[in-house]
Chains A and B, each alone.
Chain A
Amino acid sequence: MSSSKRSTIIVEHLRKQQMREAISRSKRLDGRDLDEMRTLEIELGIIGKADGSSRVRLGNSEVVAGVKVETGTPFEGLENKGALILSAEVLPIASPYVEPGPPDEETIELARVVDRGVRESEMVDLDKLALIPGKVVYTIFVDCSIINYDGNLFDASSYAVVSALMSSKLPVFEVQDGEAVVNTGKKMDPPLTTIPVSITAVKIGDSVILDPTAEEEACMDARITITTNSEGKFAALQKGSTGSFTIDQIKKAAEIARIKGEEVRTKIKELTSNGH
């Protein structure tokens, strides 16, 4: 178990004071408005041997995601569905506070939250990815590597996974004689149904701010990540940290997640269509 956690970043008391004062004036230390996201950049196809890949920069946070498709046995109880396996790893080069070794609980939570957004929005139509029901199905691995940490890894990783999936080309497998599965060498688009977008809001003092930096995350009281699908419906939600939100704050965060989510979705669409 790695001893060092990203939440161990210690922010100076004076800096905290500065941050709270700025937020009470509806401004943030980096000059952003409370509900302003950092610049989102997406690069596609950066890993030659992957079936789909992307590099996402959200401010100074940087995530690389890769998609690899193979065949495998289905999960128990989901015999007629393809398998989707999502993982995340924060590399030691990402921050001085990250140590090599097995993932800590924050990283496990990161992988689970990103996975939940993609899975619960049913972005990938897994029903179309069964080859021999109960025996062989498509298995999609999506791996995220965080290569620079400056807060809001939930959203950065989520955008990386979504854009990697959107730009991926799956190998076409065929069933021969009812039992043998062969790779035809052809490629196909993945069966995607929607574009999930996660928006993370954190509470500092009495204000709710979007897209926190590492410094802001170190000062936050509570965190909430809300994922919406292309229709603006809520697909997943995760509350983190020890503090609490009022009902009004949750409603506001949900509303912002819908509005900002649509903005980000348009941006992801635009960036993925350009690069592909």
Chain B
Amino acid sequence: MQEIKRKYVVPGDRIVDGNFRPLSNVTKSGNSIFATRIGIAEATRDGIKVIPLSGVYIPRVNDVVIGKIIDHSSLSWQVDIRSCFSAHLPAQDVFGRDFSPARDDMNKQLAIGDLVTARIMAFDRTRDPMLTIQDKDLGKIPRGEFLKISATRVPRLIGKRGSMIQTIEQATQTRILIGQNGIVVVAGRSAEGTQLAIRAIRMVEEEAHTSNLTQRIKTLLNVPEPESTETISEQASPEGQKLEGSSSSIPEAEEQVQEEELEKGDKE
């Protein structure tokens, strides 16, 4: 089999010729595989896929998302999950089986404008995503500062086995809720900690595709580092690692970072 290097692609780029299986965000035409989104093309044992670097959130069953209640009918709430699909949360999920539209006031439980953490219970191409809040840590979000990031940056914000988000939480004394759809709620004891956490999250969003990001975040948050500080300050300087060429292969130094990202993407 032909060896495939990881590379940046834009929609329409030919990733590889040959007998490969198309996975996510690619399409097979004749004997070639083409990218359908901007991202990093990657060959795995199963086939070829593209890890997207931009785009809206596409719901997947079992994803935990943060949504905004935007309306309700007599039987369900309509929830904006920052996707091209509008989700709904059945009233029975909140009130239980014996829910009665005549007796129960839906506005008292969840009003328009409330934020909820919810899990996507069902979604396929024939119907819009259905949510549930019946699980630990799901439900209405009572407080915190919220911000929106691109859904494609979420795996990077979480980091390998949650390393990035734990770093930020510990350094800023905050609790951070992340929805797979890119909505983040930061609740902290102090306003300074919360603001610092928000700055760190924004930095992750802007520099998600660059290497040594964890180090730079640690520098921003003043996390004591056992390694020599010289390396950190060196890495903190901008090195113009931003995505420039559409299909340039990724330098070796970045490989590890991408791996983390990919691994996270796989896990989701």
Which A positions have Cβ atoms within 8 angstroms of B? Answer: 10-16, 18
Contacts and interface: CB of A to CB of B under 8 A. Distances in A.
B144 to A, nearest CB: 6
Interface of A is mostly: helix
A14 B70 contact: no
B141 interface: yes
The listed residue with most A CB atoms (<10 A of its CB), out of B113, B143, B144, is: B113
A172 B114 CA distance: 60
Contacts, number: 26
B164 interface: no
Given A12-B115, A13-B113, A18 B68 contact: no
Nearest to B70: A10
Across the A-B interface, give the 8 residue pairs with the lowest CB-CB distance, nearest first: A13-B113, A14-B146, A10-B70, A12-B68, A12-B115, A10-B113, A12-B113, A18-B145
B146 to A, nearest CB: 5
A18 B148 CA distance: 14
B145 A10 contact: no
Contacts of A10: 68, 70, 80, 112-113
B64 interface: no
B185 interface: yes
Contacts of B111: 13
Contacts of B70: 10
Contacts of B145: 14, 18
A23 to B, nearest CB: 15
Interface string B179-200: 0000001000000000000000
Interface in B201-234: none
A10 B145 CA distance: 17
Contacts of B146: 12, 14-15, 18
B87 to A, nearest CB: 15
B247 to A, nearest CB: 31
Given A14-B115, A15-B146, 8 more contacts: A10-B80, A11-B113, A12-B68, A12-B113, A13-B111, A13-B115, A16-B113, A18-B146
B72 to A, nearest CB: 12
A171 to B, nearest CB: 47
26 contacts: A10-B68, A10-B70, A10-B80, A10-B112, A10-B113, A11-B113, A12-B68, A12-B113, A12-B114, A12-B115, A12-B146, A13-B111, A13-B113, A13-B114, A13-B115, A14-B115, A14-B141, A14-B143, A14-B144, A14-B145, A14-B146, A14-B185, A15-B146, A16-B113, A18-B145, A18-B146
Contacts of A11: 113
Nearest to B140: A13
B231 to A, nearest CB: 33
A95 to B, nearest CB: 15
Contacts of A14: 115, 141, 143-146, 185
Nearest to A16: B113
A224 to B, nearest CB: 25
B143 to A, nearest CB: 7
A20 B43 CA distance: 49
B142 to A, nearest CB: 9
Nearest to A11: B113
Contacts of B143: 14
A12 B147 CA distance: 11
B227 to A, nearest CB: 35
Nearest to A17: B143
A16 B68 CA distance: 13
Contacts of A18: 145-146
A87 B112 CA distance: 34
A16 B111 CA distance: 14
Nearest to A8: B70
Nearest to B112: A10
Nearest to B146: A14
Contacts of B141: 14
Nearest to A15: B146
The listed residue with most B CB atoms (<10 A of its CB), out of A14, A15, A18, is: A14
Contacts of B113: 10-13, 16
Contacts of A13: 111, 113-115
Contacts of B144: 14
A8 to B, nearest CB: 9
Interface in B115-150: 115, 141, 143-146
A266 B55 CA distance: 41
Contacts of B115: 12-14
A49 to B, nearest CB: 35
A192 to B, nearest CB: 44
Contacts of B185: 14
B255 to A, nearest CB: 38
